[in-house]
C-alpha cells in the first residue's frame, strides 16, 4: 500500500450554485513536490483552505499523514506548515519579531529563526519593520514562517507571487531542496506550468473546480513528445499503405502524420514507402510544448 501524505476523496466545496471545488481526489506521496496547477479561479486556494481545515468541505474527506483531518485536526496541523494568499503580519514589528511571535506558539528552538531567515535570504532585512517590506519580502517572510516548525508537509499557495525573476529562482531552488534537505513533502500551487515544470515531480491540474490530470510530470512531458510528419508525393495512397500494415497510428495532415515513433520505426516506414514508389520530400518532427498541452487542457488564454 502506498503511503499518501495527502489523500482527498471526493472533496468538494460549493458556494451557492458555484462549484468552487468539484469532487477532487488528490494523492500526494511522501517526498513529492506536487505542483497544483490551474488558472485563476480554478479552485486552488479553496482546495488548500480545506486541506488546512480553514474552511469546511461541502462533501468529501481529507486524510493527511493517513489520518482523518476532521478527527485529528490539531495533531495533523502541528506537522504542517503553510502559506496561503497574502499572509498577515504585525506591520509595526520587524520580520524577526514576527517570526519570534510565531516561534513561541510553535514552541520551537530560537535558533530556527535565524535558519529560516537565511533560507529565504531575509537575514539582512530581519530587523526592519514589516510595514516597510516589499511584496516579495513579505512573501519570503511567509515562507520562512511556514518552515519554522520544521513541518513534514509544506503547503504553499502561489509562493512566488510578487517576486522578481531572481527571487523566483531562489524560492524555486529552496522548494526543490526541501525533500532532500529537510525531509519535507511540498504541495505548491501556481497558475504557470513553466514554474511547476521546473520544480515538481508530480502535477495536478485543476480547472473550474475539477481535477483534469494527476500524474508524474514525466507523463505530461511524454504527451508533449513530437509526432512525425512525412511530406510525400501521394499522401492519400501513402496513408492507406501505412495504415494497411496495422502497426502505426497514422492520419493525413499536410502529408502523413505519425504519432511519436522510435527512429527504427520511422526508417521502416520510409523504406516501405520508397519501395512502393512514393517520393518523400521531407520528414519533420512536430513538437508541442508543455505549455500548449496545459493550455489545451484548461482552455487557451484563461491561464494568463
Ligand atoms: N468565499 C467565497 N464565496 C463565494 N465564492 C468563492 C469564495 N471563495 C472562492 N470562491 C469562488 O470559487 C472559485 C475558486 O476560487 P479560488 O480562490 O479557489 O481559485 P484559485 O484557483 O485559488 O484562483 P487564483 O489563481 O486566482 O488564486 C472562484 O470562482 C471563486 O470566485
Ligand atoms: Mg488562489
Section 23-34 average pLDDT? 96
- Rounded CA-CA distance 211/222 in Å is 19
- Rounded CA-CA distance 102/165 in Å is 29
Q: Where does ligand 1 bind, in terms of residues with CB under 6 Å?
A: 15, 18, 20, 38, 40-46, 191
Q: Tell me which residue range forms the domain holding 280.
A: 226-287
Q: Is residue 292 part of a domain?
A: no
Residues 174 and 83 in one domain: yes
CATH of residue 254's domain is 3.30.70.100
Residues 50 and 119 in one domain: yes
The closest ligand to the CA of 190 turns out to be 1
Residues 117 and 211 in one domain: yes
Q: Is residue 297 part of a domain?
A: no
- Whether 194 shows a pLDDT value over 90: the answer reads no
Confidence (pTM): 0.83
Ligand 1 centre to CA of 53 (Å) is 16
- Rounded CA-CA distance 73/198 in Å is 32
Mean per-residue pLDDT of the chain = 91
The pLDDT confidence band at residue 245, using thresholds 50, 70 and 90, is: confident
Ligand 2 centre to CA of 39 (Å) is 9
Name the residue among 112, 119, 123, 115 with its Cα closest to residue 177.
Answer: 119
Residues 197 and 255 in one domain: no
Cβ atoms of 38 and 297 within 8 Å: the answer is no
- Rounded CA-CA distance 117/99 in Å is 9
> Which pLDDT belongs to residue 298?
80
- Rounded CA-CA distance 122/113 in Å is 11
Q: Is residue 230 part of a domain?
A: yes
Domain's final residue, options 192, 222, 252: 222
> Which pLDDT belongs to residue 304?
39
> Which pLDDT belongs to residue 290?
78
Ligand 1 atom with least separation from CA of 16:
4
Q: Is residue 135 part of a domain?
A: yes
Q: Which residue has the higher pLDDT, 24 or 1?
A: 24
> Which pLDDT belongs to residue 302?
45
Q: Is residue 298 part of a domain?
A: no
| CA-only gyration radius of the chain, Å | 24
Q: Is residue 250 part of a domain?
A: yes
Buried b (16+ CB within 10 A) or exposed e, 81-119: bbbbeebebeeeebbbbbbeebbeeeeeeeebbeebbeb
Return the residue whose CA atom lies nearest to atom 24 of ligand 1.
Answer: 40
CATH of residue 161's domain is 3.40.50.300
- Rounded CA-CA distance 295/283 in Å is 27
- Whether 32 shows a pLDDT value over 70: the answer reads yes
The pLDDT confidence band at residue 261, using thresholds 50, 70 and 90, is: confident
Cβ atoms of 281 and 190 within 8 Å: the answer is no
pLDDT digits (tens, 9 = 90+) for 104-156: 998 999 999 999 999 999 999 999 999 999 888 999 999 999 999 999 999 99
Residues 19 and 32 in one domain: yes
> Which pLDDT belongs to residue 2?
61
> Which pLDDT belongs to residue 303?
39
The pLDDT confidence band at residue 300, using thresholds 50, 70 and 90, is: low
* C-alpha cell read off for 139: 512573501
- Whether 30 shows a pLDDT value over 80: the answer reads yes
261: which residues sit within 8 A by CB, 6+ positions away?
A: 228, 248, 269
- The number of distinct structural domains making up the chain is 2
Name the residue among 216, 187, 209 with its Cα closest to residue 290.
Answer: 216
Top mutation candidate among 12, 14, 15 for ligand 1, by most atoms within 8 Å of CB: 15
Place of cell 529563526: 113
Ligand 1 atom with least separation from CA of 85:
27
> Which pLDDT belongs to residue 188?
97
Section 36-45 average pLDDT? 95
Ligand 1 centre to CA of 45 (Å) is 7
Cβ atoms of 24 and 209 within 8 Å: the answer is yes
- Rounded CA-CA distance 131/175 in Å is 26
Cβ atoms of 63 and 10 within 8 Å: the answer is no
- Whether 223 shows a pLDDT value over 90: the answer reads no
Amino acid at each position: 500500500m502506498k503511503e499518501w501524505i495527502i489523500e482527498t476523496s471526493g472533496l468538494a466545496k460549493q458556494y451557492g450554485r458555484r462549484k468552487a471545488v468539484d469532487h477532487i481526489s488528490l494523492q500526494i506521496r511522501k517526498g513529492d513536490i506536487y505542483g497544483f496547477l490551474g488558472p485563476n479561479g480554478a479552485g486552488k486556494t479553496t482546495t488548500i483552505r480545506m486541506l488546512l481545515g480553514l474552511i469546511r468541505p461541502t462533501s468529501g474527506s481529507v486524510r493527511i499523514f493517513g489520518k482523518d483531518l476532521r478527527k485529528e485536526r490539531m495533531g495533523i496541523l502541528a506537522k504542517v506548515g503553510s502559506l496561503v494568499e497574502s499572509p498577515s503580519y504585525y506591520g509595526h514589528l520587524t520580520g524577526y519579531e514576527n517570526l519570534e511571535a510565531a516561534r513561541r506558539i510553535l514552541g520551537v528552538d530560537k535558533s530556527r529563526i535565524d535558519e529560516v531567515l537565511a533560507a529565504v535570504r531575509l537575514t539582512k532585512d530581519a530587523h526592519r519593520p514589516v510595514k516597510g517590506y516589499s511584496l516579495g519580502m513579505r512573501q519570503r517572510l511567509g515562507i520562512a514562517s511556514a518552515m519554522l516548525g520544521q513541518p513534514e508537509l509544506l503547503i504553499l499557495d502561489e509562493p512566488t507571487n510578487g517576486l522578481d525573476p531572481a527571487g523566483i529562482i531562489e524560492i524555486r531552488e529552496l522548494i526543490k531542496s526541501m525533500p532532500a534537505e529537510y525531509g519535507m513533502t511540498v504541495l505548491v500551487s501556481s497558475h504557470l506550468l513553466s514554474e511547476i515544470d521546473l520544480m515538481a515531480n508530480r502535477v495536478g491540474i485543476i480547472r473550474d473546480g475539477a481535477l483534469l490530470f494527476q500524474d508524474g510530470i514525466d507523463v505530461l512531458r511524454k504527451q508533449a513528445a513530437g509526432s512525425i510528419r512525412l511530406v510525400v508525393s501521394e499522401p492519400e495512397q501513402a496513408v492507406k499503405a501505412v495504415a494497411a500494415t496495422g502497426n502505426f497510428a497514422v492520419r493525413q495532415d499536410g502529408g502523413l502524420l505519425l504519432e511519436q515513433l522510435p527512429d527504427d520505426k520511422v526508417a521502416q516506414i520510409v523504406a516501405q514507402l520508397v519501395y512502393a514508389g512514393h517520393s518523400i520530400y521531407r520528414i519533420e518532427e512536430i513538437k508541442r510544448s508543455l505549455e500548449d498541452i496545459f493550455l489545451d487542457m484548461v482552455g487557451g488564454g484563461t491561464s494568463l
